[in-house]
Structure 1
Amino acid sequence: MARKKVYAAIDVGSTEIMLKIAELDKDALPRVLETLHRTLPLGTDTYARGEISQPVLDACLQVLEGFVRNLEGYRVAECRAVATSAMREAANRDYALDQVERHSQLALNILDNAEERAFHLLAASSRLPEFGSLISQGTLIVDVGSGSIQVSVYDKGQFIFSQNMLLGSLRIRDLLADLERRTADFAGLMDEYIASDLDNYRLLEPKGIAYQHLIFLGGELPYLKKLAGLNPDENAVLSKEQLDRLVQLLLSERPADLASHSAIPVEHATLLLPTALILRKFVLYTGVNRLQLPSADLCDAILIDFASQHYGFKPPHDIRQDTLNASRYIARRYHVNVHHTAFVEKTALLLFDETIRLHRLDAQARLLLQVAVQLHDTGKYINMSKHHIQSRNLILASEIIGLSQREIALIAWTAGFHIGPFAMDLPGFADLPQADRIEVAKLTALLRIANALDSGHQQKIGSLDVTLEPGRLVLQVKTRHDILLEIWALERQGRLFQQLFAHQPVIKIRSIRA
């Protein structure tokens, strides 16, 4: 029997650096061989000073060099190292990344917030067996990071909504530290601060969700589980009463004392009270009395992603579908024409699939096209005049779970170019790498054709067959309507496709008798 390949994941977090090494399989979750943790307050520097100091960076380099030496004994096929908000928000992050690569030979990839949170959802949904049954009812997932929290809503098995708030445990602790000496009720002050942001969230959240379940994620949860007498390395359920007792314990003990008798690193001990207060606020907000605490982290997600890419492992929950549902929620918020959007989406995806030998784009590009279609008319909510520009700006200002800022930009420019001139030298667009501009051009060409075929927003075309002929993209349509407007629109909007692929889009009509 062939030996299974070994892969590794490294997470450079705000309070801790973690390494996980695992064997991968097509039919099972990664089997973890070794896990290493090193506590390091990267986030304290970033959130307080705006950059990572050299002494802290030196300590980070030392940890990473040690991790790399540890990998040598495993014959690791591939290691992926990622960093999150502490590195992402540091003004000197480019210098830090360069030092990491020079000292450890690790190419550290900084995740955007939406990418990071999607990975957390991937880990939780894969490692919590009952995840699918939980989200069949109203479920709130609260991902408590050091720098912020991400609140995601599921109902009827579908992702509904997600919102980020700058309420991370470390950020709260450091932001309010100056006030600790000036109040006898520091916990009450933290509670009040958390409540103010929760009030803002209340204005944005989808209405009509009856919450039945709460799932919490975050780096401090293993330590809270430990204090509650639960196994920190296993999935656990915490009752509201247990959480209340934890809060009282954390209020009554100083972090240093807690660290000494509970074997919890002091840097983590200082974060447990703000974390517990965040949990309690959401328990009170939802009225849910049982908290699901899965054993899942960012390294787990990276290893699961490796298994999907290299072994065809199929996670039980499809995060890509969450991305599509998130974009549909944005589209509904801006009152897009759902019938027109559905037609254009179906048509654009058909065109993508039938012309793949021309454009040679991958499955991720197909997802970006799908999101661009869903959002291409959102700008009409702002201004009907030049709405494509408003759509572009709205998308650029949005965060969509599972998509990087680069991918958001590709979607925004694709939607922004769905009508009007296509100019490679347009300010802003010209700043993108050439490969990205070409990808946008290809996606835009497909979107323009699909949009042209429903120019009147009346879905006149009953069915569509796509055929590639020498120099022509033949669109054979069945219709019982006059589609002169669509033919005229295609003549204008099909030019970009012809310029890119040297194939002229043409319509062949098969009439359907009424």
Structure 2
Amino acid sequence: MELKLPLIAAIDVGSNYIQMIIAELNPEGQVKILEDVIQPTSIGRDTFTMGRIDRKTIQETCEILKGFSQLLKDYRVKDYHAVGTSGIREAENREYVLELIRLKTKIEVEIINSAQERFFMYRALRSRLPGPLLAEQTTLIVNLASGGVETSIYEKGALIFTEYLKIGSLRLRETLADLEAKSINFPAVMEEFIDSKTSLLKRFLQDIKFTNFIMIGNEVRTVANLCGEDQRIEVEDFTKLYEKLLIMTDDQITRTYGLVKNQADTFLPTVITLHCFLKLTHARQIYVPDISLKNGLIHDLADGLIESPQSKDSLNDMISSVWYIANRFGADRRHAEQVEKLALSLFDQTGKIHGLGHQERLYLQVAAILHAVGYFISFTDHQEHAYRIIRHRNIMGLSARDLILIANIVRYNTQESPSHQDENYEGLMDRDKIVVSKLAALLKLAEALDVSHKNKVEKVEVHRKGEQLIFTMYSWQDPFLEEWTFQNCSSLFEEVTGMQVIVKRKGLSL
């Protein structure tokens, strides 16, 4: 008898469109789309011009989402993920908007940051791309949304660089609206503006030889369709379109290409932005996969039910982006890798003691990789500097709350223990305080095992004996310093677990 999996849905309350897909899964984790609906919205236009979402737009949004809510009921969907992006995220009245949506539609919308948005988009990308495209070649990926542009580089299958700029297609249009009325050559002004915002990025990218250029986003799909292509755009065809648009008015563009208003507003900025990034590559084709944020959301939901190879690739993307930050701040990679390995080993072996899950394991992994980034600022109070660095990073797939927890874990990777006198700790919810304390305790122990930065400890085995936990270190060299430091750093672990820590060591022989 075939396993019957529940239907799932994803809702993207975007800046230019509100979209939803409803899908079913088969036991192999493949997604079959049952419904795919899209409605235009003025959310982004309101936010990017006025800083707030207008009452009329809120009403229209609620009406659209009421229709989506009815579809969810018709299909009996219980598992869904609804998100809002920059249009709601940057609105001064976002809390009121979310509350009205919740009351009128019964849909809970989560505001995600640009790093989370990137994670979901790349999860969708992984489901569509030919494997060798990322695994074997240097690839530039530009995710053009209404509010911003996310630029990433893959090299030999690993994500090695990522940056977010607030020059999305709709934001550009609204930002430069005054200039449009005054300029006789608005496309040239827009391109110059984009070049000014990407000048530092270009300095970094100009020496890299990209084999592939991937462009993703709803607006980019419109460009691909007008070039008569599905998944790929020939650079020659795109160049002809670009040069043609430079001498056309907005009205001419709208009539010639049969665009509706939402498409017309973002079409020219999309083409010019695409051209600016295309100049950085040697690609002869632009790969334009038919994906959007909602596809990434639906695949992420599916991964929660059935693990797929792509879900592991997405996790690897996230960890690659963390290593990019660590390298940027001069971390000792060999030491950080050793602390990461030992921290995860301790976490896995003490699972029945601490009772934490997969998400908390990820927090510990990220904290272990980034635990020493504060030294880049100063050797004095380096943990405070690390806290601020992590707290204000955009790390792929991690929410603001996730970053606060990870920053606090690193903050307490010292002789100091979490205290209610510390406002950063006191401001956490009670459950989050427990998570931070347990993971900080494990990170302290893991770093103690490589305090000499000599990778002396090959492995650690943990065994329980009554109310004692016996940690046995296996080492090729004398780990006297590591043993002494481990014992001195064990008090927080003993306090949060209620167990007594016993340290032993065994030598390894050839």
TM range (shorter): over 0.9
Per the alignment, residue 79 of structure 1 pairs with 80
Question: Deviation of residue 337 (structure 1)?
Answer: 1.8
Deviation string, structure 1 residues 127-185 (Cα, Å, up to 9, x no partner)? 22x14434421101000011110001100111111000111011111101101121111
| 1:340 counterpart = 2:341 | no
Matching residue of 1:505 = 501
Superposed CA deviations along residues 397-439 of structure 1, whole A, max 9, x for unmatched, are: 2111111111111111111111131133111221121111211
* 1:239 and 2:240 correspond: no
Correspondence for 1:280: 275
Are 2:169 and 1:169 aligned?
yes
Q: Is residue 2:449 matched to residue 1:448?
A: no
Answer yes or no: is the 8 Å Cα contact 1:475–1:505 preserved in 2. Answer: yes
Match of 2:12 in 1: 11
Aligned residue number for residue 56 of structure 1: 57
- Give the aligned partner of residue 222 of structure 2: 223
Whichever residue aligns with residue 219 of structure 1, its letter is N
Q: Secondary structure at the match of 1:285?
A: coil
- Compared with structure 1, are the counterparts of its residues 491 and 2 closer, same or farther at alpha carbon in structure 2 (3 Å cutoff)? closer
- Contact 2:5 2:27 (8 Å CA) reproduced: no
* Equivalent residues of 1:20, 1:34 under 8 A apart: yes
CA distance in structure 1 between the aligned counterparts of 2:458 and 2:31, rounded to whole angstroms: 47
Alignment partner of 2:147: what SS? coil
Question: Is 1:223–1:264's contact at 8 Å kept on the other side of the alignment?
Answer: no
User: Which residue is equivalent to 2:211?
Assistant: 212
Matched, 1:457 2:458: no
Deviations 1:474-498 (A, max 9, x none): 1112335443322321222110000
* Equivalent residue number for residue 434 of structure 2: 438
The Cα shift of 1:323 comes to 1.2
Distance in 2 separating the partners of 1:3 and 1:360: 30
Counterpart in the other structure of 1:395: 390
Pick which of 144-153 and 334-343 moved more: 334-343
Taking the aligned partners of 1:217 and 1:340, their CA distance within structure 2 comes to 37
Label 1:393 to 1:316 Cα distance change in 2 as closer, same or farther (>3 A): closer
Q: Which amino acid aligns with 1:305?
A: D
Pair 1:156–1:325, CA change in 2 (3 A): same
Q: Where do 1:98-177 residues align within 5 Å?
A: 98-128=99-129, 130-177=130-177
| Total equivalences in the alignment | 508
Seen in structure 2, the aligned counterparts of structure 1 residues 23 and 290 have a Cα distance that, compared at 3 Å, is same
Residue type of the alignment partner of 2:88: M
Would the alpha carbon gap of residues 338 and 116 (structure 1) be closer, same or farther in structure 2, given more than 3 Å must change?
same
Contact 1:372/1:414 (8 A) holds in 2: yes
- Asked if 1:318 corresponds to 2:313, the answer is yes
**8 Å contact kept, 1:26–1:312:** no
SS of equivalent residue, structure 2 residue 310: coil
Whether the aligned pair in 1 keeps the contact of 2:29 and 2:307 (CA below 8 Å) is no
Give the SS at the match of 2:450: coil
- Counterpart secondary structure, 1:463: strand
Note the C-alpha offset of 1:456: 1.8
TM-superposed CA distance for 1:392, in Å, is: 1.1
Please name the residue that 2:300 is paired with: 305
Q: 2:470 maps to which residue? A: 474
Using the alignment, how far apart are the partners of 1:118 and 1:254 within structure 2? 37
- Counting only pairs closer than 5 Å after superposition, residues 325-364 of structure 1 correspond to structure 2 as 325-364=320-359
Answer yes or no: is the 8 Å Cα contact 2:29–2:306 preserved in 1: no
- Is the 2:81–2:301 Cα contact (8 Å) retained in structure 1? no
Aligned residue identity for 2:423: P
Contact 2:408 2:424 in 1 (8 A): no
Q: Match of 1:488?
A: 484
Q: Distance in 2 between matches of 1:70 and 1:413?
A: 42
Distance 2:229 2:279 in 1: 22
Q: Distance in 1 between matches of 2:158 and 2:503?
A: 38
Give the TM-score normalised by the residue count of structure 2.
0.95
Instruction: Tell me whether 1:427 sits opposite 2:423 in the alignment.
Output: yes
SS class of match (1:18): strand
Question: Which position in structure 2 is the counterpart of 1:250?
Answer: 245
**How much does 1:469 deviate?**
2.1
TM-score (norm: length of structure 1)? 0.94
**What are the Cα deviations for residues 371-391 of structure 1, in whole angstroms up to 9, with x where unaligned?**
101111111111111211111
Change in Cα spacing, 1:316 to 1:474, as seen in structure 2 (3 Å) is: closer
Change (3 A) 1:480 1:63: closer
Task: Give the distance between the partners of 1:4 and 1:145, measured in 2 at CA.
Answer: 32
**Stretch of structure 1 that moved more, 82-91 or 499-508:** 499-508
Letter in 2 for 1:38: Q
Partner in structure 2 of residue 29 of structure 1: 30
Q: Which moved more, 1:438-447 or 1:301-310?
A: 301-310
Sequence identity (%): 31
**Match for residue 367 of structure 1?**
362
SS at match of 1:143: strand
1:278-305 residue CA offsets vs partner (Å, 9 max, x unmatched): 1111111122221000000111111111
SS of residue in 2 equivalent to 1:428: helix
Answer with 213-222 or 348-357: which moved more: 213-222
CA drift at 1:219: 1.5
The alpha-carbon distance between structure 1 residues 513 and 317, as it changes in their structure 2 partners (threshold 3 A), is: closer
